[in-house]
Amino acid sequence: MSEETASYSAVFTTKTQYSLPRTKYMIPRSWARFHLSQLINKVLALAKPVPFEFLIRGEVLRSSLAEWCAERGVGEEETLEIEYLESIMPPEQMASFEEDDWVSCVSCRIPGRFLSGSYDGQFRIYDASQKLIRAVPVHNAPITSTCWLPSGSGVDNERVVATASQDATVKLTAVSLDAEGSEPRPLASLHLHTAPISSVSSNPDEDMLITASWDTTIGIWTTMIPDADETLPNEDAEPRTKKRRKVSAEGKRKLPSVVLKSHTKKVSGAAFTSNSNAVSCGLDSTVRTWDVEAGVCTNTITAAEKPFIHLGLSRVSTLSRVFVASTDRTLSLYDLSSGRSASAAPTLSFLHPSLPSCIATSTTDEWRCLTGSYDGIARIWDIRSAKAAVSSFHVFENEPLKSKGDRKILSLDWANGVVCAGGENGMEVWRVGESGTVLS
């Protein structure tokens, strides 16, 4: 049997609306994704061609069928069951926002609004037409992390922005999403940490905050704004008066509800997995899961010499996967539900050519995650195909954000089919498809 005429028998299944009758097809061995996609399109006689991705035994087909079979040791006699789904369109740039300073954190969770926190201590809100709605100076030190919170005041289009900063505080600021809205007013400042805070994020119910700091502690906070400054009972009087005077201009002083201490080095990321559980990672090469209410560490995954610098949680609520980026240029995937303790080997690890600095996951896509790295490339990874990135795009390639220096990506957010990337040269918004239909 020559190379050209050799073929596999295959059955096609799908969960999309483009379904085929269940019949066997003889597929030439040299065919790859493109040929298969053409075949489906022809059989369905689609008016507008739809590109498809193909999954064989849960793996994305990235090469020709012959190569895949040779790699897996699949014989020619076996019938392959090939699942197909609509492939994601290559990412395309939507907008770019020029900023004076480095953008350390971005958020696009609210449709049509893009939030960026910057090293100059301000956070800015843009709308979809690239217009700056607000620029709010809240910190004297660089902002490191930010997140949206619902506003408790009941005013329309008003939200609360939590910003974490290198001045060791988190500040809650109420802002209006409209340009004509009221002026931003500081609500509270969160005082616990003695070193810069690396991340702040909220729980699914958006009534709790978790902060991770360089001083190895993790703080759990409620979003309720206190009526008066909260102080520790044993805090001495003299600086308190001084502080109170100072804080009054910035909002109420607030203390944490729980402090989690177990890390031995800088905690680089922390997030809620549910309303009562949290996960954190740190430079001490550990990923810890926490029972927030009890304030105890329930599980510790210790990786050998992998200082973790960022954490991304799978936002599909049924799963408890956590992606962590480490300084050895890998993105590791740990499955928290398996309950393994201290097992160093990650479920999967994705190799990067440069340091992956940030991770973004989608609310709907259970398979994919996005990383941005210091070489200015954002990569989309599929855990069904760990070898190489599914696709990637260069940020800050085009004017006006193109500059001579490095194009480090410092922050990514992915929501509603839109990816927001912030970095050394500003912020860019890209349209990246989410294969949310897979779940339905």
Partner 1 sequence: MLKATSNKRKQREEDSIEEPKSLQNSSLPLNGNLELNDESGDEQSDEEDSDGVQEPFPELDPASDSDSDSFDEDDVEGLDEDEESYPDDSGSDTSVADDVTPFPKPRTIISNITGQPKRVYPEIEPDYDSDSSTEEDPTRIGNVPVEWYDDLPHVGYDINGKKVLRAARGDELDKFLSTVEDPSTWTSAMDKKLGMEKPLTAEELDIIQRLQSAENPDANYDPYEPTVEWFTGKGKEEVMPLSSAPEPKRRWQPSKWEKQKVMKIVRAIRQGRILPSKPKTSSDAPQYYNIWSNEDPSSSHVPQLPAPKRRLPTNSESYNPPPEYLPSEEEKKQWEETEKEDRERDYLPQSYPSLRLVPAYDQFIQEQFQRQLDLYLAPRLQKKKLNIDPESLIPKLPSPNSLKPFPLYKSLRVMHESRVRCISVSPDGLWSVTGDGKGHVLLWEVTVGRPVKRWKFDAAITAVEWCPRKDVTFFVVALEETLHAIIPPNLSEPILRATRTTLAPSELPANGSAPTVVKWTSDLSGSSEDKPILSLRLPASSGSPKQVVFHRRGDYFATVCDAPGQISIWIHQISKQHSQSPFKKMKGAVQRVLFHPIKAHFLVATQRYVRIYDLAAQQLLKTLQPGMKWISSIDIHPSGDHLIVGGYDRKLCWFDLELSDKPYKVLRYHTRAIRAVHFHPTYPLFASSSDDGSIQIFHARVYNDMMTDPLIVPLKILRGHKVSDGLGVLDIKWCSGSPWLVSAGADGTAGVWFS
Residue 306 contacts residue 330 (beta carbons within 8 Å): yes
CA-atom Rg of the chain in angstroms: 24
Q: Using the rule CB under 8 A, is 100 a contact of partner 1?
A: no
Q: Using the rule CB under 8 A, is 427 a contact of partner 1?
A: no
Q: Which two tokens stand for residue 129?
A: 């037409």
Chain centroid to Cα 353, Å, comes to 19
Burial class from Cβ neighbours inside 10 Å (0-12, 13-18, 19+) for residue 242 reads: exposed
Q: Using the rule CB under 8 A, is 196 a contact of partner 1?
A: yes
Residue 106 contacts residue 427 (beta carbons within 8 Å): yes
| Phi, psi values for residue 81, rounded to 5° | -100, 110
Nearer to partner 1, 1 or 304 (CB): 304
Q: Using the rule CB under 8 A, is 195 a contact of partner 1?
A: yes
DSSP string of 115-164, one letter each residue: EEEETTSEEEEEETTS-EEEEEE--SS-EEEEEEEE-SS--TTEEEEEEE
Nearer to partner 1, 140 or 437 (CB): 140
Binding-site residue total for partner 1 (CB under 8 A)? 32
Q: List Cβ neighbours of 253 (8 Å cut-off, separation of 6 or more).
A: 188, 189, 191, 226, 229, 230, 231, 243, 244, 247
Q: How far is the CB of 217 from partner 1 (least distance, A)?
A: 12
Q: How far is the CB of 22 from partner 1 (least distance, A)?
A: 50
Nearer to partner 1, 196 or 346 (CB): 196
Q: How far is the CB of 327 from partner 1 (least distance, A)?
A: 4
Nearer to partner 1, 220 or 410 (CB): 410
Q: How far is the CB of 424 from partner 1 (least distance, A)?
A: 8
Q: Using the rule CB under 8 A, is 283 a contact of partner 1?
A: yes
**Binding residue for partner 1, selected from 410, 412, 418, 427, defined by CB under 8 A:** 410
Q: Using the rule CB under 8 A, is 68 a contact of partner 1?
A: no
Nearer to partner 1, 235 or 293 (CB): 235
Q: How far is the CB of 431 from partner 1 (least distance, A)?
A: 27
3-state secondary structure labels for all residues of 90-113: CCEEEEEECCCCCEEEEECCCCCE
What is the Cα–Cα distance from 191 to 197, expressed in whole angstroms? 11
**Binding residue for partner 1, selected from 148, 374, 396, 430, defined by CB under 8 A:** 374
Q: Which two tokens stand for residue 141?
A: 């030190």
**Binding residue for partner 1, selected from 35, 109, 329, 384, defined by CB under 8 A:** 329
- The piece of 14-22, 173-181, 248-256, 305-313 that touches partner 1 (CB under 8 A) is 305-313
Residues between 232 and 271 that touch partner 1 (CB under 8 A) = 239, 265-266
**What is the 8-class DSSP label of residue 371?**
E
**Binding residue for partner 1, selected from 28, 35, 85, 102, defined by CB under 8 A:** 102
Taking alpha carbons only, the member of 340, 395, 416 closest to residue 107 is: 416
Q: Using the rule CB under 8 A, is 141 a contact of partner 1?
A: yes
End-to-end distance of the chain based on CA atoms, in angstroms? 42
Nearer to partner 1, 125 or 309 (CB): 309
Q: What residue type is 247 in one-letter code?
A: V
Q: How far is the CB of 103 from partner 1 (least distance, A)?
A: 11
Q: How far is the CB of 437 from partner 1 (least distance, A)?
A: 37
Q: Using the rule CB under 8 A, is 355 a contact of partner 1?
A: yes
Q: List Cβ neighbours of 245 (8 Å cut-off, separation of 6 or more).
A: none
Site of interaction with partner 1 (CB under 8 A): 102, 104, 119, 140-142, 166-168, 193-196, 214, 239, 265-266, 283, 305, 307, 309, 327-329, 354-355, 357, 374, 405-406, 408, 410
